[in-house]
């Protein structure tokens, strides 16, 4: 078989290989796309089940808390006979119950006689249709139908969710209690639907909508923005019927209005209500398809480039092979010229040790004065040659003679000499030579001065890098570690043997930086730019640290990047100091409360939230009465102690959701979220009373102080300065009225 035939078969086999690779690539990408879609469906199903379970548990826990509150109020109500006492009790209960809009007490006829909302007085709410379906005055907690509106006074029962999607609504709960011979007491609580919707809206990891449904299939409230379709309402009723039959949870595939959906549901057996989640599978699969197309758009060009690269490599190797075959025909003709083409000087000495042959490199080499003198000497011997290469009593003639006489099979060594060019280093390679009757020795002389200088420079550089306090890492273009200095091990806890061949991402990545961060990093260094930045990494012992990182690409003379050099520095202490400075800039150093700047920022945020959600917001301004007198009579240390104790009393009285700050010398401010003016007045009065009842020890002497307070209710048009100014005006009205009192600002016109 000729050479051309073999080449043709090789070309055909390579083409078939390329076609097979393309077919396998297309099939693999198609399989991968289907696998991604199925995995997406499975993931969405699991997430939907988890979110549904969490929603049911949150709903059950909240309603159980309301039930416990109502029962506690009813049981304590037998000891409370006055209307004012009942009303104060109901309002106090609402302060820490954001899930409720109002609490109302019903008489035996079902009419509201006492309520936290005066607009509800005298109403007779309908109690038919409550679940469970028991006697109207049963001791069980019963859940009413959904209503449109804010409270009982303006509520309208929602009968058909296919016609309306209320922007605000509530669900009533009723509980009755009788004890002995006393009258039967009934409480009706209005659930704040927005409280639940806001928490359900936070579960946006899955494209789903929640319906809260009673056992009779009626929707109490929903996170859906559009009105419900007839198919969705029917599906909810069918699932609710299953609850009554004992099917407490499950996953139901469904097609509603030509949309592929997945329904997960769960019910808490303690309550006549459950949660139904509708997952839009089309939206989830669309995202999976988009991801698959993105991956294909990335992989197909890579596969094509790889195949093209393989084709180019094949053609190059084929051309190289053909070229080598042609050059082999003339190699023998060039053997005679081999010595002249060698970069090293080659010398041939006979059995007597006299020079008989040298190549062109030897005659053309300029190695300084020593070699120039050797060229001029006729009949040079091994000893003459060695004399010019000897330095510090090291002579090469002994080893050369040993090879010539058969005492040594070969010799390799380095020698140094001095010339007008300075110190020069040479490598000698000595081998015996025998041809026919000729016996001698060949000596190859290489000038390795540059290599020695480079090695010394490299050693110096290595020593400097090893001594550097910053961690230094060298990787290949795929980020595999090839070298690291000791500072890297001190910083990360990984010895070099543990890190070698691995990627830094496998060792120290903390997961606190997202994919976009690393994408931008790689785009920068792969384009030849130096990247600098800060990130949080993880040591071997799992501890986190802040790191300043600089990565520089290393390119060859053609601009091709072949390595990356990274310099790593631990900046954890600097970051800790920065965080501490930020904290000091926002905190009052004496009381530990927010300073004026931090408080006004919190108040501005609460004003924005109030305007978005239409929740009440009240602001209190409080000032220590006659504080200057305390400083003057007892000293500034005593004044500081008074401020600390007053601040601690306030901190113990406010909720964690409220904002408390020191805004002046002896002046404090409180922003009470979702709190009206009456509740704010109550809190201000409790704080005033607590301060007035507290005795403060000052150097063995006890003193008392009082505070004055002003209350202002924020409105939609208010600014931070505006509402603070009104609260401050009320504060000084309290001061002018005699101090140790609370005043409320008039509402703006």
Which residue among 606, 666, 682, 685 is the active-site one?
666
**Residue 236 Cα to chain centre, angstroms:** 38
How long, in residues, is the chain? 749
- Burial class (CB within 10 angstroms; exposed 0-12, middle 13-18, buried 19+) of 55: buried
**Residue 315 Cα to chain centre, angstroms:** 48
Closest CA to 625 of 507, 526, 742: 742
Q: How far is CA 10 from CA 1, 20, 106, in A?
A: 13, 15, 96
Q: Buried b / exposed e across 311-347, counting CB within 10 Å, b at 16+?
A: eeeeeeeeeeeeeeeeeeeeeeeeeeeebeeeebbbb
- Burial class (CB within 10 angstroms; exposed 0-12, middle 13-18, buried 19+) of 269: exposed
- Burial class (CB within 10 angstroms; exposed 0-12, middle 13-18, buried 19+) of 309: exposed
The reply to whether 542 belongs to the active site is no
- As a whole number of angstroms, the distance between CA 278 and CA 453 comes to 74
Question: For the chain, first and last CA: distance in Å?
Answer: 108
- As a whole number of angstroms, the distance between CA 195 and CA 99 comes to 5
* Structure token pair of residue 148: 């449109």
Residue 425 CB contacts under 8 Å (≥ 6 apart), including other chains: 414, 415, 416, 447, 448, 449, 451, 452
Tokens 């002995």 correspond to what residue?
180
Residue 255 CB contacts under 8 Å (≥ 6 apart), including other chains: 261
DSSP-derived pairing of the beta strands 411-419 and 259-267: unpaired
Q: How far is CA 343 from CA 339, 362, 447, in A?
A: 9, 9, 10
- As a whole number of angstroms, the distance between CA 74 and CA 84 comes to 16
Closest CA to 527 of 564, 482, 567: 564
CB atoms inside a 10 Å sphere around CB 578: 12
- Read off the DSSP letter of residue 335: G
Which residues belong to the active site? Answer: 666
């Amino acid at each position: 078989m000729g050479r051309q035939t073999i080449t043709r078969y090789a070309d055909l086999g390579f083409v078939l290989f390329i076609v097979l690779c393309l077919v396998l690539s297309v099939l693999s990408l198609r399989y991968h796309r289907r696998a991604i879609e199925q995995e997406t469906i499975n993931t969405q199903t699991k997430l939907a089940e988890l979110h549904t379970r969490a929603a049911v548990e949150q709903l059950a826990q909240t309603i159980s808390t309301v039930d416990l509150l109502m029962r506690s109020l009813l049981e304590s109500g037998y000891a409370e006979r006055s209307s004012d006492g009942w009303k104060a009790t109901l309002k106090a209960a609402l302060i820490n119950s954001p899930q409720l809009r109002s609490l109302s007490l019903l008489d035996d006829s079902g009419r509201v006689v006492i309520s936290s909302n005066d607009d509800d007085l005298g109403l007779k709410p309908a109690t038919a249709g409550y679940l469970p379906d028991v006697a109207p005055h049963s001791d069980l907690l019963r859940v009413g139908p959904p209503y449109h509106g804010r409270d009982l006074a303006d509520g309208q029962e929602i009968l058909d969710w296919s016609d309306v999607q209320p922007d605000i609504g509530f669900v009533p709960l009723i509980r009755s209690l009788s004890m002995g011979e006393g009258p039967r007491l009934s409480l009706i609580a209005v659930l704040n639907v927005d409280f639940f919707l806001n928490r359900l809206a936070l579960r946006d990891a899955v494209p789903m909508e929640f319906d809260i449904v009673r056992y009779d299939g009626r929707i109490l409230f929903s996170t859906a923005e559009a009105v419900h379709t007839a198919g969705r309402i029917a599906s909810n009723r069918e699932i609710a019927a299953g609850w009554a039959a004992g099917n407490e949870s499950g996953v139901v595939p469904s097609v509603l209005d030509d949309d592929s959906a997945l329904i997960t549901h769960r019910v808490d057996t303690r309550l006549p209500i459950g949660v139904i989640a509708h997952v839009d599978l089309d939206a989830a699969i669309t995202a999976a398809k988009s991801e698959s197309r993105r991956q294909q758009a990335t992989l197909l060009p890579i596969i094509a480039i790889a195949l093209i690269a393989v084709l180019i490599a094949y053609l190059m190797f084929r051309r190289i092979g053909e070229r080598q075959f042609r050059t082999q025909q003339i190699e023998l003709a060039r053997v005679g010229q081999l010595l002249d083409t060698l970069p090293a000087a080659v010398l041939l000495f006979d059995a007597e040790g006299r020079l008989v042959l040298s190549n062109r490199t030897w005659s053309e080499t300029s190695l300084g004065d020593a070699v120039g003198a050797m060229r001029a000497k006729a009949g040079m011997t091994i000893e003459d040659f060695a004399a010019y290469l000897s330095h510090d009593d090291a002579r090469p003639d002994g080893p050369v003679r040993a090879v010539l006489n058969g005492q040594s099979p070969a010799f390799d060594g380095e020698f140094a000499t001095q010339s007008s060019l300075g110190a020069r280093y040479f490598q000698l390679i000595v081998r015996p030579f025998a041809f026919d009757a000729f016996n001698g020795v060949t000596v190859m002389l290489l000038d390795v001065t540059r290599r020695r200088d480079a090695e010394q420079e490299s050693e110096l550089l290595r020593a400097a890098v090893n001594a550097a306090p910053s961690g230094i890492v060298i990787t290949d273009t795929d980020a595999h570690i090839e070298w690291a200095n000791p500072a890297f091990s001190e910083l990360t806890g990984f010895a070099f043997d543990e890190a070698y061949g691995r990627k830094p991402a496998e060792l120290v990545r903390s997961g606190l930086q997202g994919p976009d961060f690393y994408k931008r990093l790689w785009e920068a260094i792969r384009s030849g730019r130096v990247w600098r930045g800060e990130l949080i990494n993880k040591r071997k012992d799992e501890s986190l640290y802040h790191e300043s990182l600089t990565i520089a690409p290393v390119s060859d003379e053609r601009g091709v990047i072949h390595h990356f050099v990274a310099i790593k520095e631990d900046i954890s202490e600097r970051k800790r100091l920065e965080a501490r400075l930020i904290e000091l800039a926002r905190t009052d150093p004496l009381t530990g409360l927010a300073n004026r700047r931090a408080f006004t920022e919190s108040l501005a945020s609460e004003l924005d939230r109030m305007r978005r959600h239409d929740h009440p917001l009240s602001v209190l301004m409080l000032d220590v009465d006659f504080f200057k007198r305390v400083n003057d009579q007892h000293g500034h240390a005593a004044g500081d102690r008074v401020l600390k104790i007053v601040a601690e009393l306030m901190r113990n009285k406010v909720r964690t959701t409220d904002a408390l700050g020191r805004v002046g010398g002896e002046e404090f401010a409180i922003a009470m979220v979702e709190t009206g003016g009456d509740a704010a007045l109550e809190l201000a009065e409790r704080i005033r009373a607590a301060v007035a009842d507290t005795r403060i020890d000052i150097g063995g002497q006890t003193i008392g102080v009082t505070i004055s307070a002003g209350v202002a209710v924020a409105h939609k048009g208010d600014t931070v300065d505006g509402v603070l100014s009104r609260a401050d005006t009320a504060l000084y009205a309290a001061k002018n009225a005699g101090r140790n009192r609370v005043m409320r600002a008039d509402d703006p016109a």
